Amino acid sequence: MKRSEINKAIKNLEYLCQKYNFLLPPFCNFKPEEWKEKKSEYQEVVECMLGWDITDFGSGDFDHQGLSLITLRNGNRMMPDKYPKVYAEKIMCLKEGQRCVNHFHWYKTEDIINRGGGNLLIKVYNSLPNEEIDYVNEVKIISDGRTYYVESGACVKLTPGESLHIYQGLYHEFFPEKGHGDVLIGEVSQCNDDNNDNRFNPPVGRFPAIEEDEPPYRLLCNEY
């Protein structure tokens, strides 16, 4: 991805957070040059990979296969004594026409929440014992206290305020419903580990290679 694309995506997520009155913690506003002096006091941000995260999943086509997110709080399963939090929270956005690619988690369970904007569609599949996609069996849906079943590959629609529970091994990809605009998305989960707990199908990259065509507006969570 070009740095200019990343800067634009960060500013767009900032705008959506302001629009829907979702206030961000102070470390989200630090300029790149500020991190040199603040790093010692903000080791939790560094070691738990809090902050900005913009990815095109290695596609080179962020406008169609990409996601903008901020990890707001997180523990660290590799350093549980130092960071004992067993939970995480993210705020994300998808522009209309974008999608977050198909994946499941071995460890993490999460709730994906429509925080504002258009409708969010989440396509779901069970996983097989060999971790491939189950195209046959119905999928159990747990959404805001309601439990029901849908066909494999069905899309669950979340309007603003609604959420879907994503349990271990549940393949999911999500995108805004066409014609309804961009979506601000929340995530509440167990500890997040993007280096070891994503099973993408088909395989993709998690963090982008960056072409430095302009100075960074904010540092990403893997750049401190």
pLDDT in the model for residue 99: 97
Distance between CA 87 and CA 188 in Å, rounded? Answer: 7
Q: What's the pLDDT at 166?
A: 98
pLDDT at 9 (0 to 100)? 98
Average pLDDT over residues 32-39: 93
Task: Give the model's confidence band at 62: pLDDT under 50 very low, under 70 low, under 90 confident, else very high.
Answer: very high
Which pLDDT score is estimated for 100?
A: 98
CA distances from 49 to 90, 126, 212 (A): 11, 29, 21
pLDDT at site 33? 95
Q: What's the average model confidence in pLDDT over 177-182? A: 97
The rounded percent of the chain whose pLDDT value lies above 70 is: 100
* The pLDDT of residue 79: 96
Residue 23: pLDDT band with limits 50, 70, 90 = very high
pLDDT class for 192, splitting at 50, 70, 90?
Answer: very high
Q: Over the stretch 110-142, which tens digit does the pLDDT of each residue have? A: 999 999 999 999 999 999 999 999 999 999 999
The whole-number pLDDT of residue 198 equals 97
pLDDT at site 182: 97
The model's pTM is 0.95
Tokens 């901020």 locate to 70
Q: Which domains does the chain possess?
A: 3-200 (2.60.120.10)
- Mean pLDDT, to the nearest integer, of 132-159? 98
Tens of pLDDT, residue by residue over 63-96, are: 999 999 999 999 999 999 999 999 999 999 999 9
Bridge partners of residue 176, in order along the sequence: 120
